[in-house]
Structure 1
Amino acid sequence: MYAITIPEPGGPEALVWTEVPDPELGEGEVLVDVAASAVNRADVLQRQGYYDPPPGASPYPGLECAGRISALGPGVSGWSVGDEVCALLAGGGYAQKVAVPAGQLLPVPKGVDLAHAAALPEVAATVWSNVFMVAHLRPGETLLVHGGASGIGTMAIQLAKAVGARVAVTASGGRKLDHCAELGADVLIDYREQDFVVEVRKATDGAGADVILDIMGAKYLSRNVDALAVNGRLAIIGLQGGAKAELDLGKLLAKRAAVMATTLRARPLAEKASIIAAVREHVWPLIESGRVKPVVDRTIAMREVAEAHRVVEASEHVGKVVLVA
């Protein structure tokens, strides 16, 4: 088969379409012929040499895919050759074929094509596990999403609205905030010109956000704590603004608030399977009913992956950039 490889870390040109051995199926795995994958920030970090795959994972980038099952490994039940699926991966999505633990498979939602299905697993699993399974967002509460126009952001807006929450977002103004509004965001904050702490407090009559989904890390830590409501929960899922910052524990104590940080890629298979099962139960019906939809900015041929990485690094997109075979 062919896959996108990274012979040496570097810029987008470091991604090379190369002939490599076919994956070998292990116990409980299925082989998926990849029709589409999607670009995530983690792929960019891996290409740059900052985010190695976990032990045992495929060395090729790509944390999600969609396609058709072409073979079943030992011990697999409930799936058949020919099934259209999408999958959460620890790596290997930028390839013609990938071996996937059966617990990380999802059926392609009814009414969704393979290109759009490839944009779903990573964002659905990330948002559901953090906003709902960890931070326990409830109806009537306020969720603040940083990077509202990102793939994760566009999914978080829709899922939070679907369960009856109020949503505030930060984005770089203009087109991106317009898209957030179209998806249902109630409070639109241009982080280049507005202080999100002030705007969230204004929109909540001084109470603050009950849950914050944060991709920035250190840069926003102090202000995120300021923006939290009493009993608020801050879920950190990215470090685009750095990894180290001072945390005022006095503010947390006064608010009886919590700071949580999670990753998804390196979790044990059982944990990923549990998250995927929850996504299938809670998120897939919303997608099939049309209440939640995958947001795809553009599709690019997998061999032109360098261009896709340039788009993502420049933050020119809204939603996901999808690679098609």
Structure 2
Amino acid sequence: MRFINHDEKQGPTSLHIEECEVPSYNPEVERLIRVEATAVNRADLLQSMGKYPPPQGVTNIIGLECSGYLVDPQTNQVTGEKVMALVSGGAYAQYVKVHKDHLMQLPKNMDFATSAAIPEAWITAYQLLHKIAKIKEGETALILAAASGVGTCLIQLCKYAGASSIAVSSSYDKLQRCKELGSFDGINYKQFPVFSERVKLITDGEGADVILDPVMGTFFNCNLECLAMDSRWVIYGFMGGIKIREANMMKLMNQ
């Protein structure tokens, strides 16, 4: 089969097509998909630069999600069953193996290209918002990196849940896109680096009920000032670093 390989010294610009064997799989717990479409995630870009190694025992082929046709485990023939899946790696290839519990039927009237972008970002966003933050109707969520894949999903899920979202991003073009997707308001952190003041202004001094944060380090103290009483702060990334300087943890306890 063909797959997309990379050179870790050159990163995303080194992507090229090579040939390899179709992956073997355990039909008791795994399935094989003939890939029709995949999607680009931040993890893919980092892995292509050698900064995001795959889990032990997982293929070095990049790609975390895909859509395509299911292969019959009994006959090894491609079926007409359309599926999408979240995988540990290997989606940048003609065939990829996946745990059978990570398979999902393609929604009706949705094409392969659209559905391939659902498993990683949308499932992550749903889990963050509903399973962890437990957002409620009428609440306000502060979404950092709001124009990212997960961020744009969070905006739409907030709107669907009857919650308001405040988007934080680095440009007004990105914030305009966030507004089109349903954000209540937006903050350009390059213009307002202490964006907590804007959050308090937007929320009439109350702060955010939920913060969805893939940045952490550089925004930690600012986020601390954005918290409403009895709020939830969900950290799911460290784009701003893992170290915090002079954090007032008493402030966190008081919230």
Settle same-fold status: TM greater than 0.5.
Answer: yes
What residue identity is the alignment partner of 1:62?
G
**Aligned residue number for residue 38 of structure 1:** 39
Q: Distance in 1 between matches of 2:140 and 2:41?
A: 26
Q: Any runs of at least 4 consecutive aligned residues in structure 1 with deviations exceeding 6 A, and if so which?
A: none
| DSSP-derived class of the 2:79 partner | coil
What residue identity is the alignment partner of 1:97?
Y
Q: Distance in 1 between matches of 2:107 and 2:87?
A: 18
Q: Does 1:251 align with 2:251?
A: yes
Mapped contact 2:142–2:166 kept (Cα < 8 A): yes
Mapped contact 1:30–1:73 kept (Cα < 8 A): no
What residue identity is the alignment partner of 2:154?
A
Q: Distance in 1 between matches of 2:97 and 2:36?
A: 14
Q: Mark the structure with the bigger radius of gyration.
A: 2
Mapped contact 1:25–1:73 kept (Cα < 8 A): no
Q: Does 1:71 align with 2:69?
A: no
Q: Does 1:162 align with 2:160?
A: yes
| DSSP-derived class of the 2:13 partner | helix
What residue identity is the alignment partner of 2:208?
A
Mapped contact 1:10–1:49 kept (Cα < 8 A): no
Cα-Cα RMSD: 1.7
Q: 1:160/1:41 Cα in 2 relative to 1: closer, same or farther (>3 Å)?
A: same
Q: CA deviation at 1:56?
A: 2.3
What residue identity is the alignment partner of 1:192?
K
**Aligned residue number for residue 178 of structure 2:** 180
Q: CA deviation at 1:73?
A: 7.0
Scaled by the length of structure 1, what TM-score is found? 0.73
Larger relative contact order, structure 1 or 2 (CA cutoff 8 Å, min sep 6): 1
**Aligned residue number for residue 221 of structure 1:** 220
Q: 1:103/1:249 Cα in 2 relative to 1: closer, same or farther (>3 Å)?
A: same
Mapped contact 1:217–1:240 kept (Cα < 8 A): yes
**Aligned residue number for residue 234 of structure 1:** 233
Q: CA deviation at 1:2?
A: 1.1
**Aligned residue number for residue 2 of structure 2:** 2
Mapped contact 1:28–1:101 kept (Cα < 8 A): yes
Q: CA deviation at 1:8?
A: 3.7
Q: Distance in 2 between matches of 1:245 and 1:73?
A: 54
**Aligned residue number for residue 106 of structure 2:** 108
| DSSP-derived class of the 1:83 partner | strand
What residue identity is the alignment partner of 1:107?
Q
Number of equivalent positions:
250
Q: CA deviation at 1:72?
A: 2.7
Q: Distance in 2 between matches of 1:73 and 1:87?
A: 20
After superposition, residues 1-325 of structure 1 pair within 5 angstroms as 1-26=1-26, 27-72=28-73, 81-194=79-192, 195-246=194-245, 247-255=247-255
Q: Distance in 1 between matches of 2:73 and 2:136?
A: 39
More helix by share: 1
Q: Distance in 2 between matches of 1:243 and 1:160?
A: 27
What residue identity is the alignment partner of 2:22?
D
Deviation string, structure 1 residues 227-251 (Cα, Å, up to 9, x no partner): 1111111112222111211442201
What residue identity is the alignment partner of 1:37?
T
Deviation string, structure 1 residues 220-278 (Cα, Å, up to 9, x no partner): 111111111111111122221112114422011110xxxxxxxxxxxxxxxxxxxxxxx
Mapped contact 2:147–2:177 kept (Cα < 8 A): yes
| DSSP-derived class of the 2:72 partner | strand
Q: 1:214/1:251 Cα in 2 relative to 1: closer, same or farther (>3 Å)?
A: same
Mapped contact 1:85–1:106 kept (Cα < 8 A): yes
What residue identity is the alignment partner of 2:144?
H
Structure 1: where are the runs of 5+ without partners? 75-79, 256-325
Mapped contact 1:212–1:228 kept (Cα < 8 A): yes
Q: Distance in 1 between matches of 2:72 and 2:55?
A: 24
Deviation string, structure 1 residues 85-140 (Cα, Å, up to 9, x no partner): 11111111111110011111111112211101111111111111112111111111
Percent identity between matched residues is 40
Mapped contact 2:85–2:104 kept (Cα < 8 A): yes
Mapped contact 1:62–1:93 kept (Cα < 8 A): yes
Deviation string, structure 1 residues 264-313 (Cα, Å, up to 9, x no partner): xxxxxxxxxxxxxxxxxxxxxxxxxxxxxxxxxxxxxxxxxxxxxxxxxx
| DSSP-derived class of the 1:12 partner | strand
Q: CA deviation at 1:7?
A: 4.5
